[in-house]
A and B are shown apart, each in its own frame.
Chain A
Amino acid sequence: MADHLLLGKWGEDLAEKKLMDQGWKILGRNISFKGGELDIVARDEKELVMVEVRTRTFGKIMPPECSVGPDKLRKLVRAGKYYVLKNKWEGPWRIDLIAITVEENENVRIEHFPDITYGGAY
């Protein structure tokens, strides 16, 4: 596996662990559909959450959360809709972003951005 894919996998594992520590129930990992993939699907109390994980090492120009643009958001929404339909989920759902940065001194920073489509900007 290429380095950047390994880093991504490592980041997703880290994110999954964090969510489980928070008490979320993990429903699935790396669920792909035609035209989109969901990194983590979890339950946060009453809501279904599709989590997109972005991992980057320090030194890149932009932080990881900036790498999710409108196209990626649209893909996430589409994949989310597929998932919801397929699994017959009728309650509210949302899309979260977990951004992981590996800093210069090997320090790992994890940031959680809930509901990135809130307000309808996708």
Chain B
Amino acid sequence: MNAVLGVTLKGVDAIKVEVEVEITGGLFAISIVGLPDAAVRESKERVRAALRTLGIPIRGRVAVNLAPADLPKEGALLDLPIAVGMAKSTGALRFSRPSVFMGELALDGRLRAVRGAVPAAIMAREKGLDLFIPEDNAHEVSLVHGVNAFKVPDLRSLIDYFRGDLELQRVKNDFKADQQKKIEPDFSDIKGQAAAKRALEIAAAGHHNVLLIGSPGSGKTLLARALRGILPPLSDEELMEVMLVRSTVGISSSRGRERPFRPIHHTASAVAICGGGTNLRPGEISMAHRGVLFLDEFTEFRRDLLESLRQPLEDGEIVVSRSAGSVTYPAQVLLAVACNPCPCGWFGDPVEQCRCSSNDIERYQKKLSGPILDRIDLYVPVPRLTPEELLSLEGKCGESSEAIRERVCRARSLQLERWSDIGSGSNSELPEKILRTRLGLSREARSFLGSVAGTLKLSGRGISRVLKVSRTIADLDSSVEISTAHISEALAYRQTGFLS
């Protein structure tokens, strides 16, 4: 007996669902059991209408069982397997290989795109099953190598295929990433801020967290947005991970190899950022996986929300536990945050006078908790430019994003090569053990760091973050060894008590 298989999502994994259909005599009725959610329960109307348009009337009492019975099933992607199961039990079609079906049915039998095609493709590949997907999902699935997937435009073609009257097109592994579009603003559009630009270059090269701090209007947001333009392209493996999350949420994007960049407004809820909800969806931090999570006006975010970022920032994944179950979503993000130095914003500004009392400043500082700040690798002051500097037409604005990006890409490919055996793509994700043994720290640099770490009161995490950043700086230099100069540059970005 060849079971009709469908899938349901749990986290970013697809779980196999067996669809069994029994049709007995009686007044026409369809009942679906196996913990269906509202979308699955409503599928009976779509399935019935679609089958009727194809001239396969369903009569009698229909019982649909979705096994395993204790796993909650969600989403309209089970429409197709239910329809195939019904058609099969009326004898309208038969097939010889175990196959996975997914797709939402239109009333006229066309198939609509669904969430979760990439996880389903991975599952089908592992289990060696054929996969039938809606045509509109073919693009994402073309990314998964070695899966035997077919594009199905509508239910009729699928039935004709099983009757041997029609060939369905296979999904080819020809995933084409579009050429990266030019991203505005370009770094050459931004005047001055050479130090900040250098820090962002390091952040992009090693995937390090960065904090931009400066008075209002000094260009923090502009710089952060320009960061998009210098990020290295996603590698094949990273692209797969990103598509996996995107497919789970149901956004089919043609952004190609461009890294995700998710700007978050400070009114966002903890569930929106971390993931969760009744049906357990990935949050923004997972959507920004392998890319940038940008929190503008960092100090305006709710305290509990910021604290909830602590664990995912360290582990690169987030475990969302609810009564409905617990799932793990990837969350390897480059955290970019921007904030003012004090409530009025002018603290430390060379021109404007700060109006805040010391109490105000203290309260403001408290919002940025130690543990969060400890996870920031690069503190970047963004000083205000003088009006003369801003208005002057001549004078160079520095390199273009493209030139910086080239250096970043070179540094990143060095990292990919070096860490290929431990499956790490960038310096920031290095496990502690590797850090100690294979970093290439020169003898002088080691003793230098030893002497400075005590004075700067660096924490254990602080030291390893300094080491990771200096490794990236050395990579940008194409240097095998980490020298004292690299260490001291990394230390310069690590300023504790940045407001003092």
Contacts of B48 in A (CB 8 A): 119
Residue contact B27 to A90, C-beta cutoff 8 Å? no
Contacts of A118 in B (CB 8 A): 28
Distance, CA A72 to CA B454, complexed state (A): 88
Residue contact B45 to A119, C-beta cutoff 8 Å? yes
Residue contact A89 to B27, C-beta cutoff 8 Å? no
| A111 adjacent to chain B (CB < 8 Å) | no
Distance, CA A93 to CA B28, complexed state (A): 7
| A100 adjacent to chain B (CB < 8 Å) | no
Chain B residue with the shortest CB-CB distance to A47: B59
- How many B residues face the partner with a CB closer than 8 A? 12
Knowing A80-B27, A117-B27, A120-B29, say if A92 contacts B60 (CB, 8 Å): yes
| A84 adjacent to chain B (CB < 8 Å) | yes
Contact with B along A81-93 (1 / 0, CB 8 A): 1001000011111
Chain A residue with the shortest CB-CB distance to B28: A118
Residue contact B45 to A93, C-beta cutoff 8 Å? no
Distance, CA A95 to CA B27, complexed state (A): 8
Distance, CA A98 to CA B489, complexed state (A): 90
| A14 adjacent to chain B (CB < 8 Å) | no
Q: Which 9 A-B pairs have the closest CB atoms?
A: A92-B60, A92-B59, A91-B25, A90-B25, A92-B25, A120-B29, A118-B28, A93-B27, A117-B27
Contacts of B61 in A (CB 8 A): 92
Q: What would be 12 A-B contacts, judged by CB atoms less than 8 Å apart?
A: A77-B27, A90-B25, A91-B25, A92-B25, A92-B59, A92-B60, A93-B27, A94-B59, A117-B27, A119-B48, A120-B29, A120-B30
**A13 CB → nearest B CB, Å:** 26
Q: How large is the interface on A (under 10, 10 to 19, 20 to 34, 35 or more residues)?
A: 10 to 19
**B369 CB → nearest A CB, Å:** 56
Chain B residue with the shortest CB-CB distance to A93: B27
On B, residues with C-beta under 8 Å from A are: 24-30, 45, 48, 59-61
On A, residues with C-beta under 8 Å from B are: 47, 77, 80-81, 84, 89-95, 115, 117-120
Contacts of A120 in B (CB 8 A): 28-30
Residue contact A91 to B60, C-beta cutoff 8 Å? yes
Distance, CA A93 to CA B61, complexed state (A): 9
Chain B residue with the shortest CB-CB distance to A84: B26
Residue contact A115 to B26, C-beta cutoff 8 Å? no
Distance, CA A49 to CA B29, complexed state (A): 16
Knowing A47-B59, A119-B45, say if A92 contacts B26 (CB, 8 Å): yes
Residue contact A89 to B28, C-beta cutoff 8 Å? no
Chain B residue with the shortest CB-CB distance to A48: B25
Contacts of B25 in A (CB 8 A): 84, 89-93
Contacts of A77 in B (CB 8 A): 27
Distance, CA A76 to CA B27, complexed state (A): 11
Contacts of A119 in B (CB 8 A): 45, 48
**B36 CB → nearest A CB, Å:** 15
Distance, CA A115 to CA B28, complexed state (A): 9
**B95 CB → nearest A CB, Å:** 25
Distance, CA A115 to CA B29, complexed state (A): 12
**A76 CB → nearest B CB, Å:** 10
Chain A residue with the shortest CB-CB distance to B49: A119
Residue contact A94 to B27, C-beta cutoff 8 Å? yes
Distance, CA A47 to CA B60, complexed state (A): 9
Chain A residue with the shortest CB-CB distance to B52: A118
Distance, CA A90 to CA B25, complexed state (A): 5
**B126 CB → nearest A CB, Å:** 39
Residue contact A93 to B29, C-beta cutoff 8 Å? no
**B270 CB → nearest A CB, Å:** 41
**B58 CB → nearest A CB, Å:** 9
Distance, CA A94 to CA B26, complexed state (A): 8
Contacts of B27 in A (CB 8 A): 77, 80-81, 92-95, 117
Distance, CA A92 to CA B59, complexed state (A): 6
**A69 CB → nearest B CB, Å:** 18
Distance, CA A119 to CA B27, complexed state (A): 10
Contacts of B26 in A (CB 8 A): 84, 92-93
**A104 CB → nearest B CB, Å:** 37
Contacts of A81 in B (CB 8 A): 27
Distance, CA A117 to CA B29, complexed state (A): 9
